Structures are given as C-alpha cells and as structure tokens.
Amino acid sequence: MREITLSQAVNEALAEEMRRDPTTFIIGEDVAEAGTPFKVLSGLVEEFGTARVVDTPIAEPGFMGIAVGAAMTGARPIVDLMFGDFIFLIMDQLCNQAAKTHYMSGGRLSVPLVLRTNMGATRRSAAQHSQSLHALVAHIPGLKVAMPSSAYEAKGLMKTAIRENNPVVIFEDKLMYNDKAPVPEEEYLIPFGVANVLREGTDITLIGTSSMVQVCQKAAEILAAENISAEVIDPRTIVPLDEEGLLKSARKTSRVIVVDEGHQSYGVTAEIASRINEKAFYYLDAPVLRMGAMDVPIPFSPALEDITVPTPEGVAANARKLMSGEMIHAA
C-alpha cells in the first residue's frame, strides 16, 4: 500500500469531504495561500477557492463564534486552530455555545462543526505552544474528541468528524505531521468510539493516545525482547470512549498502563484508569498505572523538555514493575 504523511492524509480527507459536501468550508489563520504554517492545507485553496478556504484575522474567539453560527444555519465549518494552546481563547464559544446548543434547544438546533487543532511537546516551542489540552474538552458534554495516532487514523477519523452532526475536536500531534503510514487509495472512514488493538498480548495492556500509541508500540517491542507480552490499544476517540474494548483487554491481561501526553493530574489517564479500576477491579493483579506529561508548564530548554513526556523506556520500566509485583510493596 502507498505510504503518505499524516499531513497529506489530513489534506486528502479534507479535500474528499469538501468535494462531497458543498456546505463544508475551512476557516482559520493563514489557511489559504499559506496552507497553514505546517503546510497541512497546501493546495486546498487552489481547488476550493477563497470562499471555502477562508483566511481570518488573528481572532480565534471571533472565527470560532462565526463557525458556530454557520454550523447552526446549514453550513459545516472546519475550524483550523493553529496551535492547540489557543483553545484557551475559544473555550467560551466551544464549551458554552457549540457544546450546549443542541441540548439547550431541546434538540432543535445542532452544531455540526470540526475543530482541527494540534498537541504535542518536544518541539522546543515552550509553554504556550506545546500543550496537549484534550482532557479539557473531553470533560465537556456535547463535544466529541478524536486523537489520531497515525496518517491512516488521521484520515479516517477526520472524514467521520466532518460528517458528524456534532462539534468534534480533533487533536493532531504536530510532531507527527511528517510521519508516513500506509493509507489506502480507496475511501474509508473510521467510526468513533471503537478502540483499535494494534498489537495483541497477554501479560499487560498498554493504552496510548495519539503519539503515545507509538510510544506504547515501542515499549511493547522492548518488552517482547524480555518475554513480556504487551497488548497495545488506541482508543482513537476519548469521547465517545470505547469502554468495553478497553475493559476486555484489561480483563484479559489484568495489568494496565495508560499513557497520554496531556498533564497527568486531572487528565485523560485518570478517567481511563478509574473506569478500568471501577469496572474490571476484580480482574486486576495490580493497580492501573498512569503516565501523563509532568505537571509542569512545558519548559523551553531541550535539557528539560525531553523529560516531561512519557518515553518507551519509561513505559517499559513501569511495565516491568507491574509484572514483578513491585507495586504491591509500593501500595
């Protein structure tokens, strides 16, 4: 199968869906001629014109609000938020307006909208351009949240997101834009709420989101060399969350590590870990371990930044601890 980058995969998904549905449009900063600083959108304005690939002033709350209104009145906006860190600027429009409109109107209005943004540290971009803020939006009922872990996932999830009748937030890992993966030429969509088992295993389950899926995969390889059989699962969407899929694996292996690049405290790992603890408690041989980013603003200095996020070695080390029963003494 051909291999394309995550960036190309997103671009293809957008182009296909924009061809399919003339009510879709892209809105954001430097999305047209510049194709965004990450060049993900290159070529789209040439095909769809500036009426549907709309450059905005630097006014995130404003264009997010415009997208909400457009979605309520028959259009399908795809909002491009240049950095995930800017989500703080649009929280009101996203969480007080978009997320609640369908419910508050008793089902009479809806907001079919995609917010494309990114996440991920270790790019030396410092504290305001490196955050992974998906836990915040996952906490707000009315929003769906997708976290593609490869080019293949990015394309399939994006296409589903655009066809969804609800506000969907997609977090792309900005360090993965140039990562290639096999992506079929034929159309495909990836349904929301169905976890993907990337690697089967029997001793321990590694649940990873976004780029942490690769981290888990690498950890599984390290562990395999030590005769520890790790199962690797990608929830794909954290809202809806495929609870059953995760529980099934947890019940099978009886040991679980959850890895995510958001800050650990009050983050995504807590939700997944506590659901597993709650619903697979009597199957577990050890507590579910969580590995998120450190609870510190992301530092600029390379010497510091690299140690703030989970690594394959770190995951493997924790897996060994769980296998050896070391946690018993710790707990």
Q: Which residue is nearest to ligand TPP (CB)?
A: 58
| Active-site residue, from 129, 134, 263, 271 | 129
Q: Which of 50, 58, 304, 313 binds ligand TPP (CB under 6 A)?
A: 58
Q: Which does 325 bind (CB under 5 to 8 A by kind): ligand TPP, other proteins, a second copy, none?
A: none
Given 17, 60, 153, 231, the catalytic residue:
60
Residue 330 interaction partner, one of a second copy, other proteins, ligand TPP, none, beta carbon < 5-8 Å per kind: a second copy
Active site residue 47: no
Q: Which of residues 80-109 bind ligand TPP (CB under 6 A)?
A: 82, 86, 89
Active site residue 33: no
Whole-angstrom Cα distance, residue 31 to residue 15?
13
Site track 208-227 with a second copy (rule: CB under 8 A), x = hit:
--------------------
Task: State the nearest-atom distance from the C-beta of 162 to ligand TPP, in Å.
Answer: 23
Q: How far is 331 from 320, CA to CA, in rounded Å?
A: 16
Distance between CA atoms of 117 and 14, rounded to whole angstroms? 14
Chosen from other proteins, ligand TPP, a second copy, none, partner binding at 166 (C-beta under 5 to 8 Å by type):
other proteins
Complex with a second copy: residue 94 or 162, whichever CB lies closer: 94
- 2 or 329: CB nearest a second copy: 329
3-state SS string for the chain? CCEEEHHHHHHHHHHHHHHHCCCEEEEECCCCCCCCCCCCCCCHHHHHCCCCEEECCCCHHHHHHHHHHHHHCCCEEEEECCCHHHHHHHHHHHHHHHHHHHHHCCCCCCCCEEEEEEECCCCCCCCCCCCCCHHHHHCCCCCEEECCCCHHHHHHHHHHHHHCCCEEEEEEEHHHCCCEEECCCCCCCCCCCCCEEEECCCCEEEEECCCHHHHHHHHHHHHHCCCCCEEEEECCEEECCCHHHHHHHHHHHCCEEEEEEEECCCCHHHHHHHHHHHHHHHHCCCCCEEEEECCCCCCCCHHHHHHHCCCHHHHHHHHHHHHHCHHHHHC
What is the closest distance, in whole angstroms, from the C-beta atom of residue 60 to a second copy in the complex? 9
**Closer CB to ligand TPP, 82 or 246, in the complex:** 82
Q: Indicate the residue among 201 and 299 with the shorter CB distance to other proteins.
A: 299
* 51 is a site residue for a second copy (CB under 8 A): no
Q: Looking at 9-17, 87-95, 147-155, 187-195, which segment touches a second copy (CB under 8 A)?
A: 87-95
* Residue position matching structure tokens 């990608």: 234
Residues near a second copy (CB under 8 A) are: 85-89, 91-92, 94-96, 99-100, 103-104, 126-128, 135-136, 138-142, 238-239, 241, 262-263, 265-271, 273-274, 277-284, 286-290, 294-297, 299-300, 327-328, 330-331
Could you list the active site residues? 60, 129
